[in-house]
Chain A
Amino acid sequence: MGFILRRDRMRMSIWVISIVIFTVLIASILPDLYATGADRQLMAETMKNPAITVMIGPGYGLDNYTDGAMMAHFMLLFSALATGIMGILFATRHTREDEEEGRIEMIRSLPVGPLSPLTASFLYIAIVNIVISLAVAFGLYPLGLEDMDLNGCLLYGASLGVIGIFFAALAGLFAQLTSNTRATIGYSFGFLILAYIVRGIGDVENEALSLISPLGLILRTQVFVNNYWWPVLLTLGISMVIFAVSLYLNSIRDLGAGFIPTRPGKRNASRFLLSPLGLSLRLQRTTIISWTVGMFILGLSYGSILGDLEGFLDTSGIIQQMIPQAEGLSLTERFMTMLMTILSILGTMPPIMFILKLNSEEKKNRTEALLSKAISRNQVLGSYTLIAVLAVPLMQLISIIGLWSAAVVVMDDAISFNTFFKAGFAHIPAMWIMVGLAILLIGYLPEHTNLAWLYLGYAFFVVYLGDMLQLPDWLNKLSPFGHIPQVPIEEINMAKSLLLILVAVVLIIVGFIGNNKRDIHG
């Protein structure tokens, strides 16, 4: 197991530290955000909105909405999602993926039992989650927030940890059932999303339904309010059972195989596949569809917040600071501009992924297979560029539709589709600039394409916290999104938009030139 530890040191540290820091950070600023009991009670009223419950879970202790109760309400579900994701990724890596890469084969040829890799992986993940639980607990406790006593903090940490263990065990089970990494991850994440949705419906409609979902179950701990430990123990017990089943399945199956067979494919390629563009689309088919659906859901969930915003925003001083000032427009409309920018930044993620897919293809030596045929580098890069560039308006449109659909339902005096549309499409030049930047990196710094993500993260950070932290305006201007007119507060400036588009085009062209001159990795 020391072997596993060494390999994952970096990744594990990043996950653990991020989760812990994020949790503690939010907890520490909550008292400032909602200074008085009255502030919090108003918030509690907003939280009774079923749309909110669907998203972040039922609020407990709404009668006496202390810091603790609020913290648990805001953070527990999403943090649990984070540990769940971490559990799935790590478990898959050390079971199915290792097997696929032939690493398990090597270990098995040594005098270790067949169960050892699986057990070692599970132990490892269990320990990681215990570390997270304790770190979170002892990070929160010293903050001395109201209602956040030691018992509560430990329960909070344990809830996170046990969800991580549960989903790791689940992924381990799927690793026994399927025959490749992609399927394992697919089923595991599918279950995670299902668990989230079922909980959402259950929390609003039928309590029993929510209990079926492990995420719903864990929220029943009512951390910082009533502090029940039984959901944690129950989830832990279930995880153990799942793990035992995995062990059993592992001992009876062949290495490399799964219980769910792979479907056979086609003998001949369809006409659609037979071009560089066809190939790129086919390779990314699933990713494209998932992200399109995802953006719609994201728009939907953000739109649902817009309902009771007026009353809530009036009182919250901090939120007021985050939103730009404007005459003649409702608070909701002003909030929407910020929302739109965040949605756009998130919507930039898929196009960047589509472009950087080329980079990962190259690292796997598959690009050279294409380049040794009668296709130019421009054609190869061009096919990925086309997909990414077209994905930008597509993602925007989808998320706008989602946003508007939800707004129409929850708002009495809904913002018009037209407004949403203009606000959303105003961001497109900035999104194209990000794509252009990614292409530039491919052309000149193919080893460092992660810089694109770093820059996007910077843009997100500046938008989200910029006004609140009173960051100077020039920091905002450094991100392309800082140059986008905040519709409807500001009007669309055609000249400026064209200029931004021109910048994007230049970046793309320079990227292509660089791509033509460099060595292709192999």
Chain B
Amino acid sequence: MAIIEVKNLVKKFGNFTALGGVNLDVNPGEIYGFIGPNGAGKTTTIRILLGILKATSGQATIFGLDAWKDAVEIHKRVAYVPGEVNLWPNLTGGEVIDLFVKLRRTNNNKRRREELIERFDLDPSKKCRTYSKGNRQKVALIAAFASDADLYILDEPTPGLDPLMERVFHEYVLEAKQEGKSIFLSSHILSEVERLCDKVSIIRNGKIIESGSLEELRHLTRTSVVLQTKEPIDDLDKLKGVHNVEKKDNSLYFHVDSEQLDQVMKYISQYGIVKLEVAPPTLEELFMRHYKGDGGEL
């Protein structure tokens, strides 16, 4: 049974349609990446999942329970880290962490709390108003990982963190996955998504435009090639599956549809390969193409 199930989720604010029918499934033990440009509807989807917003139509369930009606029950097993962490200026970091853990009704593991505070390098005795943005994020992250949740919903959790802290964060995410927990991660940092996630959904203008495992998605994109041959090739751009051919210095730069790679390789090797560089498609390329609106041949 899927941990999170979203079916035809629609959300309208007056005349504005923020979500126009979103579908996604997150399975147990999965790290699910949710990416899209600003204003695409990522945060709206998350807030509906948390029962903060009410869907106009469609269904959103977590653990098989309705996200709106059974919010309190669901939240006992969920840890949420928001995109922008707003804390109470007069309370200290330590007080906020204790408060959050207590309100989640999960077990209070003191040892783990101390361990997290140390690894994230946070001073819990300082008042929240003195914290930088990154430190505020750490408070929320610590509070999330200190609770023993089954599902972690993380909305762009790393932008304020330095690379060292980012690494610590990744470790805890992978550790959670090993314990069989599920993670729903919304992020702008594509390298992070590539490194951590099993499945990815891309949302744009309130609709999911791409969804699947990274393997599946890669299969549908293009490979970058840099080529130098003994004899010049003239009709490369006329080959099926070859795009964006550019000639710089003595080399040819082009993209090949993954399905046509074999044919293209056979063709160019006739000309005597001197230099060949092949790069796998990155999520970035996949992503940028969708942003530019080039639906392409996907």
Which A residues lie at the B interface, using CB under 8 A?
180, 182, 262, 264-270, 273-276, 279, 282-283, 364-366, 368-376, 517-520, 522
Contacts and interface: CB of A to CB of B under 8 A. Distances in A.
A519 B75 contact: no
Interface in B67-105: 71-73, 75-76, 78, 80, 82, 84-92, 94-100, 102-105
A373 B71 CA distance: 9
B72 A374 contact: yes
Interface of B: 43, 47, 50-54, 71-73, 75-76, 78, 80, 82, 84-92, 94-100, 102-105, 124-127, 129-130
Contacts of A517: 54
Contact of B98 (A264, A269, A276, A366): A269
B126 A264 contact: yes
A180 B98 contact: no
Contacts of A368: 47, 50, 52, 82
A34 B297 CA distance: 90
A275 B105 CA distance: 11
Given A262-B130, A373-B104, A374-B76, A269 B88 contact: no
B88 to A, nearest CB: 6
Given A276-B103, A368-B82, 18 more contacts: A264-B127, A265-B127, A266-B125, A267-B92, A267-B124, A268-B98, A268-B124, A269-B98, A269-B99, A273-B98, A274-B98, A283-B90, A364-B86, A369-B86, A369-B100, A374-B103, A520-B52, A522-B43
A267 B82 contact: no
The 10 closest A-B CB pairs, nearest first, are: A265-B92, A269-B98, A373-B103, A269-B95, A372-B80, A267-B94, A274-B102, A374-B75, A374-B76, A365-B86
B136 to A, nearest CB: 11
A372 B50 contact: yes
A282 B80 contact: no
Contacts of B105: 373-374
B99 A279 contact: yes
A264 B125 contact: yes
A519 B94 CA distance: 30
Contacts of A180: 89, 129
Contacts of A374: 72-73, 75-76, 103-105
A266 B100 contact: no
30 contacts: A262-B129, A264-B92, A264-B125, A264-B126, A265-B91, A265-B95, A266-B125, A267-B92, A269-B97, A269-B102, A273-B99, A274-B102, A283-B90, A368-B50, A368-B52, A369-B85, A371-B51, A372-B50, A372-B52, A372-B75, A372-B78, A372-B82, A373-B75, A373-B103, A373-B104, A375-B72, A375-B75, A519-B52, A520-B52, A522-B52
B293 to A, nearest CB: 29
B125 A267 contact: yes
B174 to A, nearest CB: 23
A376 B72 contact: yes
A520 B95 CA distance: 25
Given A180-B129, A373-B104, A266 B99 contact: no
Contacts of B52: 368, 371-372, 519-520, 522
Contacts of B130: 262
Identify which of A182, A369, A517 gathers the most chain B CB atoms within 10 Å of its CB. A369
A265 B103 contact: no
A376 to B, nearest CB: 5
Contacts of A276: 103
Nearest to A519: B53
A519 B92 CA distance: 29
A304 B127 CA distance: 43
Contact of A369 (B76, B78, B82, B95): B82
Contacts of B89: 180, 182
B103 A375 contact: yes
B160 to A, nearest CB: 14
Nearest to A256: B130
Nearest to A520: B52
Contacts of A371: 50-52, 71
B94 A269 contact: yes
B184 to A, nearest CB: 13
B124 A365 contact: no
B82 A365 contact: yes
Nearest to B81: A372
A517 B69 CA distance: 10
A301 B51 CA distance: 49
A266 B92 contact: yes
A63 B85 CA distance: 65
B67 to A, nearest CB: 11
B91 A282 contact: yes
A372 B46 CA distance: 11
A282 B72 CA distance: 23
